[in-house]
Amino acid sequence: MALEASQIYPGCETFSAEFDDDGVYFYQAYNSEIADYAIEHQKLGGANYNTERMTWIKPSFAWVLFRSGYGKKHNQNRVLKIKLSHESVATLLSQCKCKHGGGGSLGRVQWDPARDLWTSEGREPRKITRQKAIQIGLKGRLNKLYVESILSIDDATLLCHRVHDAHSRKSVEVKEEMEKIKSDLPIERTYLPKCSPVNLMKLKLLPMESL
């Protein structure tokens, strides 16, 4: 659901995503074998996809650009845009724990320094130190539930490459080049999953005094 600016809670994290009435979009970077299967069958699977491993989904386009090197890293050379229903997002998040590091949970939420889609530093999207971006890690039965819940899959790799080309220009030219592809970029807004208040507090999306 959308939030007005006045409903963003001080001291809590902000879940930013592209979404509509039907669901929420997430990004993942894979190799070509997994990506080709996903696009053709509109689901994740095939011989190279392992549901027992932890898979990370990210609603921030800028963050997946950073993580995948704009879709140019080895085994991350294809970026998929994956849609889940609001109900599926809430179901998955309700079974996640908010933590960093390994071990212990089939579902993990991490808050990492956000990245700016519109500006670059070095060879990556600029880090925004005062904002965080959510990553959701799923494995085992939660990974399987995620796969079964996918509504659609699109290939976002070419758009990643176009942003890379814009970010590779001289700093004074980056904004101008980004404006040229603005209409193709996702519009990410503050999103509050349809989880219980208790779960939202555990995920740092509601203040502890909300109950």
Tens-digit pLDDT profile for residues 122-153: 889 999 988 999 999 999 999 999 999 999 99
Which band of pLDDT confidence, cut at 50, 70 and 90, is reported for residue 6? Answer: very low
Which helix (H) or strand (E) is 145 found in, with range? Answer: helix 141-149
Mind listing the pLDDT tens digit for each residue in 51-107? Answer: 889 999 999 999 999 999 999 999 999 999 999 999 999 999 999 998 766 566 899
Distance of alpha carbon 137 from alpha carbon 132, whole angstroms: 16
Instruction: Tell me the pLDDT of the chain averaged across its residues.
Output: 92
Q: Where are the beta strands (DSSP E) in the chain?
A: 16-17, 23-30, 55-57, 78-85, 97-98, 107-121, 124-138, 150-155, 189-190
Residue 84 CA to residue 30 CA, distance in Å, equals: 18
Pairing of strands 55-57, 124-138: antiparallel
CB 23 within 8 A of CB 89: yes
Evaluate if residue 19 carries a pLDDT over 50: yes
In this predicted structure, the answer to whether residue 157 has a pLDDT above a threshold of 70 is yes
Q: Quick one: pLDDT at residue 105?
A: 84
* Rounded Cα distance, 108 and 95, in Å: 8
Give Cα separations from 130 to 11, 66, 111, 127, 133 (angstroms): 11, 17, 12, 9, 10
Distance in angstroms (rounded) separating the CA atoms of residues 174 and 90: 37
Taking the domains of the chain in order of start, what are their residue ranges? 13-24+52-63+86-146+156-206
Q: What's residue 8's pLDDT?
A: 61
Q: Which DSSP category does 19 fall into?
A: B
In angstroms, the CA 148 to CA 50 distance is 14
Query: Does residue 206 contact residue 12 with C-beta atoms inside 8 Å?
Result: yes
The overall pTM is greater than 0.85: yes
Asked if pLDDT for residue 1 goes beyond 50, the answer is: no
DSSP code, position 9: P
Q: Tell me the per-residue pLDDT of 45-55, one tens digit each, with 9 for 90 and over.
A: 999 999 889 99
For residue 75, give the amino acid letter.
Answer: N
Round to whole Å and give the CA distance between 126 and 129.
Answer: 9
Predicted confidence (pLDDT) per residue in 174-200, tens digit = 999 999 999 999 999 999 999 999 999
Instruction: Using alpha carbons, select from 106, 117, 1 the residue that is nearest to residue 63.
Output: 117
